Amino acid sequence: MIKQIEAYIKEERINPRMLITSSLHSISEEDIDDIAAYYESINLDKINPVLNNIPLWPGDMELGKELYNGDCKSCHRKNGMGRSRKGIPALALQYPRYLFRQIKMFQWDKRVHDDDPEDETFDELKDKEIEALLAYISSLAPNNKK
């Protein structure tokens, strides 16, 4: 969380809504630590089910699973829940439209993946493959488990 807030402050990560509605440029490091601690304290297993209603994304689930297991699983884990202590986000709790936008931002060099400006994880992915990846990731959401 701290890394993400700092990326917005440094304008390495841009979201016009964040710039308009927040005062990120005027908060202290202590405020950033407090915000991060608050979000880390939220028990995602007990979160309001309305907020955790991740839609299934259409796409080739088998291809998505193959792509996920090849490039994503080692960091974001088999269940897509990430490793928060290592700063690796839970993909299974993200809305597919958000993830699609982030992947495009990585492809357009508007965002850095895995703190590595040279990372090429998404460079060759076609939209059909991104759709497949999102189909599989959305199936990992707790509300979509069978």
Please state the domain extents for the chain: 1-41, 48-144
Output the tens digit of pLDDT for each of the chain's 146 residues.
Answer: 777 777 777 777 766 666 556 677 778 889 888 888 887 777 765 665 555 688 899 999 999 999 999 999 999 999 999 887 888 888 998 999 999 999 998 899 888 887 777 888 888 999 999 999 999 999 998 877 75
Using CA atoms, how far residue 30 sits from 14, 16, 26, 39, 111, in Å, is 22, 24, 12, 14, 25
Query: Hey, which CATH number is domain 48-144, 1.10.760.10, 1.10.260.40, 3.40.718.10, 3.40.50.300?
Result: 1.10.760.10
Q: What is the pTM of this model?
A: 0.69
